[in-house]
Structure 1
Amino acid sequence: MSCPICGEATVKVYRPFCSKRCADLDLAKWLNGSYAVPSQREEDVDADIPSEETRPDRRH
């Protein structure tokens, strides 16, 4: 089995990754939204966001 991040051979402790670094890189991709599970919904996602949340002048 090879690491899905770099392609090196996996290490039992970090399986399916080869190292803690590759495991952390994969986690970071999930946390920042690089990976996403496709929705089965046909509606537009933006339609679910209230209009006050989409205003560009809204303070954070």
Structure 2
Amino acid sequence: MTEGGATVTPLRPKRPCPECGRPSTRDAYPFCSARCKDVDLGRWLTGAYAIPVREEDDEDGAPETDARDA
């Protein structure tokens, strides 16, 4: 596939699967298999990847004040 000495670079670099560490495949990128892809999807759907939220901040970012603090 090299014409005139030019090399073809892949569109996606080879990366390890984020679930098991094996090399990723083109069909399931960035995972190595449909199984690892489904495991990751299951974690998203159950909320395992949820970002924690701090409840003490108000909508404008200022901390809530209590009448007892005054």
TM-score higher than 0.5 here? yes
5+ residue gaps, structure 2, are 1-14, 57-70
Equivalent pairs, count: 42
1:21 and 2:35 matched: yes
Higher RCO structure, 1 or 2 (CA under 8 Å, sep 6+) = 1
Provide TM-score, normalisation by structure 1.
0.62
CA deviation string 1:6-54 (max 9, x = no partner):
0000001110000000000000000111111344xx425xxxxxxxxxx
Does structure 1 residue 34 correspond to structure 2 residue 48? Answer: yes
In angstroms, what is the RMSD of aligned CA positions? Answer: 1.4
Q: Which runs of 5+ in 1 are unaligned?
A: 45-60
Higher-Rg member (1/2): 2
Moved over 4 A (4+): none
- Taking structure 2 as the reference length, the TM-score comes to 0.54
- Equivalent residue, structure 2, for 1:55: none
Equivalent positions of 1:46-57 (< 5 A) are none
Could you tell me which residue of structure 1 aligns to residue 7 of structure 2? none
